[in-house]
Structures are given as C-alpha cells and as structure tokens.
Amino acid sequence: MTQRLTPTETMVLNMGPQHPSTHGVLRLQLTLDGEVVLDCMPVIGYLHRGIEKIGEARTYPQILPYTDRLDYLSSASNNLAYVQAVEKLMGVEAPERAKYLRVILLELNRIASHLMFVATFANDLAATTVFLYGLREREPIMDLFEMWTGARLTQSGLRVGGLARDIPEGFVDKAREYCTFLPPRLDEYDRLLSGNRIFRVRTEGIGILPPEEAVDYGCSGPTLRGSGVRYDIRRDEPYEVYDQLEFDVVTTSTCDCMGRYAVRMQEMRQSLRIIQQCLDRLPEGEVIAKVPRTIRPPAGEAYGRVESPRGDFGCWVVSDGGPQPARVRFRTPSFYHVAALPRMLRGWKIGDVVAILGSVDVVLGEVDR
C-alpha cells in the first residue's frame, strides 16, 4: 500500500482583535505552516483616540487626564512624563515632599501593574488560581489609590509643580502594612509558578530576544532587562529622588519568556524597598510649588522621560508661548514592543504565541493613543 502525501500550504490566521489573551484590541495576522508561525503582522489602531491631536487644542492642565488613558494600568507614569516636560519648560520644581510622594505613587503603580501582569500571564498559561490571587493582592493598592486620589485607575494624581493633594491621614500606616503583606504572597506565587513544571516548559527558552536586537528594536523596561541589558531610566537618568534611593536594577540573561517574567517578580520586591525608604524619609511641607493659574510656558521644547512598568515612557512637549502646546508627543514602550513581536514569534508554535505576547505585557491604550 502506498501512502499518499497530503500537499500542505500556509494558512493565515487572525488572532484578535477580540481575543481573551490579546489583552485589549490587538490583531495578530499569523502566517502558519501547520502549527509553526512563519510570520506575524500586528494590526493596531483599534483604540486610537487621537490624544496627540486633542492635546493641541487643550490647555496644559486639561491635557493631564488624557495621559491617564494611555497606559491605563500605570497612570502616574504617564502623568509624570508629561508633567516633567512642562516643568522643564517652565523651570518649575516640585517641593521635596511631593517628589517623595510621587515616587511612592509611581512604585505602587508599578506593583499594581506587575501584579496584573503575573495574574494575566499565569491565566494565559492556564494557571487560573494565580489570576485570582494577583487581582486579590492588587486590590489593597487600588484602595490606597482611592483613599489618596479618589480614583482607582485613572488617578490624575500629579500636577505641574507637584501633586493634586497630600496623602490622607492613615495612609502611611496602610502603605507600611502593605509592604509587609505582599512579600509572603510573592513567595507563594514563586511556589505556584516559578517552580511549576508546566509553567517552566511553556516559558523557558521560548520567545528568545537577543540583547542587541532588543536595543535595535527600541525595547525597554522588563522586556529589555529580560534580555540581559542593564538599563533602567530610574538609575541611568534619575528623576524625582531616585538617585537618593537604594534599589537593584534586575536583569536576567535568558532572553526568554521566563526571563521577562522573573524580572517583574523581582522588581515588585525592589519597588517595596523603594516605598519603604520613601515612607521613612518623607519630609514635611507643601506638595505643590507656586504655579501660575494659567500655564503659559516660554517657547521651546522639552522631553520628559519615565521608567514606567512597561519601559521607556517619553513625552515631548513643544511650546509656542501660548496656553496650549504646539505639539505634544507620547513615546510609549508598548508601541515598540508590539513592533518587535514578529521577531519574537517567528519559528515558534501557535501555542507559544499567547505565552510570548503575554510575556511582553503590552497595554493597547498606549500603543494606539
């Protein structure tokens, strides 16, 4: 009996824009040979709101709430990149207390965002328990945000020159409590995931991104540090009071999904270290500098740059001396990371796509702007 070989051809498969593991409206057009990904074309723009165009028709304070809606898992980072640029243009500096409080807000945002990452990443790899745990541990942070800013997600906590408001009574104790509450929970995640055989098989050696290529694609944050490049804007271009705080820049040299996961797990512990130092040293005083009611920065241009949970978040503001900016540009890490996805996906199996995409932790709000 002769065996007939079935002729094969490549197939195009659309993953998304609505898909449980694309974490927002992202469409990946995959070219497949059987199970193997030959190529990938990401299609973006489904969430485009034209924030940069809107910015040209708003006053400087009016723009701030729009920035919340870029990386909506870390609104304080977006706020700060914008506020930094405007403060540089105006020559304004936030009071010392505001600088410490900003760092606390930023690092709480980082932990909340990384917890969301661990939760969804584990869920993508079928560890549903960890999804619920991650959201559970994120909840007390959301309560802290609500207590301080009145909002849980889109906080608009910052202002040009400082903060919208000082921390309320009881906040310091609650924040300290959280700093002792979280580490045992992170140990638990380690036991559930980091040593879990299924989790390891699905993440170790998968989705390799070599360090030179990570830089060449403009990758940043945990995606860059997961490829072994020791670059963190908090250390290399320090802002606020990061240069006075002790923390380690975490890297792994495995360049794979496990490496990117491991970096974020360690970064949460470093963020707790930073928050504790800030709480210990928190000076008394004002939380906002004297800023004119109508903000009209002198003509010129300035660039704000923040290490957001996802990486290099930049904001370029050009002033013509008027009450509205001539141009406001947001450089968002996820945009560059989605651009690098085809490189990370090629050659891997379709089952790995979800793991690789999840390991990069993109937020489509900042990709599409």
Partner 1 sequence: MLEKLKAQFGDAIESAEEAGRELRVQVAPRSLVQVARAAKDEGFAYLADITAMDTNDALRVVYRLISFATGRHLVASALAPRAGGRLPSLTAVFRGAEWPEREVYDMFGVRFDGHPDMRRILLTDDWEGHPLLKTWQTK
Among 60, 117, 131, 336, binds partner 1 (CB under 8 A): 336
Among 237, 241, 289, 323, binds partner 1 (CB under 8 A): 237
Contact 321, 299 (CB under 8 A): yes
- Our finding on whether 44 is near partner 1 (CB under 8 A) is yes
d(CA 230, CA 236): 10
- Our finding on whether 363 is near partner 1 (CB under 8 A) is no
x/- track of binding to partner 1 for residues 295-334 (CB under 8 A): --------x--------x-x-x-x-------xx-x-x---
Among 50, 205, 283, 347, binds partner 1 (CB under 8 A): 50
Helix, coil or strand: residue 14: strand
Among 27, 102, 202, 369, binds partner 1 (CB under 8 A): 369
Distance in Å, CB of 315 to partner 1, minimum: 10
**Candidates 60-68, 124-132, 181-189, 213-221; binding stretch for partner 1 (CB under 8 A):** 213-221
Distance in Å, CB of 291 to partner 1, minimum: 21
- Our finding on whether 148 is near partner 1 (CB under 8 A) is no
Residues pairing with 32 in the sheet: 11, 37
Sequence-distant (6+) residues with CB within 8 A of 364 are 23, 24, 25, 26, 44, 46, 47, 334
* Subset of residues 18 to 37 that bind partner 1, contact rule: CB under 8 A: none
- Our finding on whether 39 is near partner 1 (CB under 8 A) is no
d(CA 22, CA 18): 7
Cα distances from 89 to residues 265, 317, 322, 332, in angstroms, run 36, 8, 12, 21
Helix, coil or strand: residue 31: strand
Distance in Å, CB of 229 to partner 1, minimum: 8
Distance in Å, CB of 67 to partner 1, minimum: 16
Distance in Å, CB of 88 to partner 1, minimum: 8
d(CA 339, CA 320): 33
d(CA 57, CA 64): 13
Among 11, 12, 48, 128, binds partner 1 (CB under 8 A): 48
- Specify the DSSP element, H or E, that contains 75: helix 75-90
Cα distances from 160 to residues 32, 82, 137, 368, in angstroms, run 50, 9, 31, 25
Kindly list the residues in this chain that would bind partner 1 in the complex (CB under 8 A): 44-45, 48, 50, 52-54, 57, 213, 215-219, 229, 231, 236-237, 303, 312, 314, 316, 318, 326-327, 329, 331, 335-336, 338-340, 343, 368-369
